[in-house]
Structure 1
Amino acid sequence: MPVSATAVAAAIPAIEVLQLSKHVADASAPAGRLTILDGIDFTVAAGTTLAIVGASGSGKSTLLGLLAGLDTPSEGSVRLDGEDIYALDEDGRALLRKRKLGFVFQSFQLLGHLNALENVMLPLELRGDARAREKATEMLGRVGLGSRLKHSPKYLSGGEQQRVALARAFVTEPPLLLADEPTGSLDAATGEAVIELMFELNRERGSTLVLVTHDNAMAARCQRTITIAAGRLA
Structure 2
Amino acid sequence: MMRNMNPDTSPVLEAVDLLKRVDGVDGPLTILQQISFAVDAGETIAIVGESGSGKSTLLGLLAGLDVPTSGGVRLRGNELFSLDEDGRAALRGESLGFVFQAFQLLPALTALENVMMPLELAARRDAAVVARRWLDRVGLTHRTGHYPKHLSGGEQQRVALARAFAVQPAVLLADEPTGNLDAVTGEQIADLMFDLNREAGTTLVLVTHDERLAARCGRVIRMAAGQLVSDSLRAVA
Q: Fold conserved (TM > 0.5)?
A: yes
For 1:216, the equivalent position in structure 2 comes to 211
Q: Pairwise mapping of residues 9-158 of structure 1 onto structure 2 (< 5 A)?
A: 11-28=9-26, 32-158=27-153
For 2:191, the equivalent position in structure 1 comes to 196
Separation (CA, whole Å) in 2 of partners of 1:27 and 1:164: 40
* Secondary structure of 1:112 counterpart: coil
Q: Percent identity?
A: 62
For 2:234, the equivalent position in structure 1 comes to none
Separation (CA, whole Å) in 2 of partners of 1:166 and 1:93: 22
Separation (CA, whole Å) in 2 of partners of 1:221 and 1:89: 36
Query: What is the one-letter code of the residue matched to 1:18?
Result: V
* Secondary structure of 1:94 counterpart: helix
Cα displacement (A) at 1:133: 0.3
Q: Cα deviation per residue 1:24-47 (whole Å; 9 max; x = unaligned)? A: 00122xxx1100000001111111
* Secondary structure of 2:160 counterpart: helix
Listed as ranges, the gaps of 5+ residues in structure 2 are 1-5, 230-237
Cα displacement (A) at 1:134: 0.4
Separation (CA, whole Å) in 2 of partners of 1:232 and 1:134: 44
Note the aligned Cα RMSD (angstroms). Answer: 1.1
Separation (CA, whole Å) in 2 of partners of 1:118 and 1:80: 28
Separation (CA, whole Å) in 2 of partners of 1:139 and 1:14: 24
Which of 157, 161, 164 is residue 162 of structure 1 equivalent to? 157
Cα displacement (A) at 1:174: 0.6
Query: What is the one-letter code of the residue matched to 1:24?
Result: V
Cα displacement (A) at 1:75: 0.8
Q: Moved runs in structure 1, 4+ residues, more than 2 A?
A: none
Separation (CA, whole Å) in 2 of partners of 1:180 and 1:27: 28
* Secondary structure of 2:81 counterpart: helix
Please give the TM-score of this superposition, normalised by the length of structure 2: 0.93
Separation (CA, whole Å) in 2 of partners of 1:216 and 1:114: 34
Listed as ranges, the gaps of 5+ residues in structure 1 are 1-6
